Amino acid sequence: MPAQRIVTGAHYGVRDWLAQRITAVVLLLYIALLLGWLLTVPAVTFDSWAGLFATGWMKVATMVAMLALVYHTWVGMRDIYMDYLKPTGLRLFAQAATIVVLIGYGFWTVLILWRV
């Protein structure tokens, strides 16, 4: 069995499959939260919009959603690479680039929220 395992394969388990579902639910809840705010706020202005993200709970909720999005995107993109990119070197490059980009998205979000 170990001989069949390849360096850019999945982890041959249920963990990522389950994480994909849990992070999806987190993202759906965050979208529902945003839509609920948009539908109930009297007017979307800079003050009301930036005021929403100035609160501690919304910063935390946004970061939780972003981390869920990073993990979710990683599993999804890796699934795509495993089906269509066959050469190990190419797949490894795509996976590494995706990880770097996703970590970048995550820290970008931290920087944005930090200044609100």
Interacting residues with another protein (CB under 8 A): 21, 24-25, 28, 31, 46, 49-50, 53, 69, 73, 76-77, 80, 83-84, 98, 105, 108-109, 112, 115-116
Shortest Å distance, C-beta 95 to another protein: 13
For another protein, give the closer residue by CB, 25 or 90. 25
**Apex 74 CA angle, 69 and 76, nearest 5:** 95
CA-CA-CA-CA torsion sign (88, 92, 93, 94)? positive
CA gyration radius, the chain = 18
Residue from 56, 54, 55, 53 nearest 34 by CA: 53
Shortest Å distance, C-beta 108 to another protein: 5
CB atoms within 10 A of CB 84: 10
For another protein, give the closer residue by CB, 12 or 107. 107
Shortest Å distance, C-beta 84 to another protein: 6
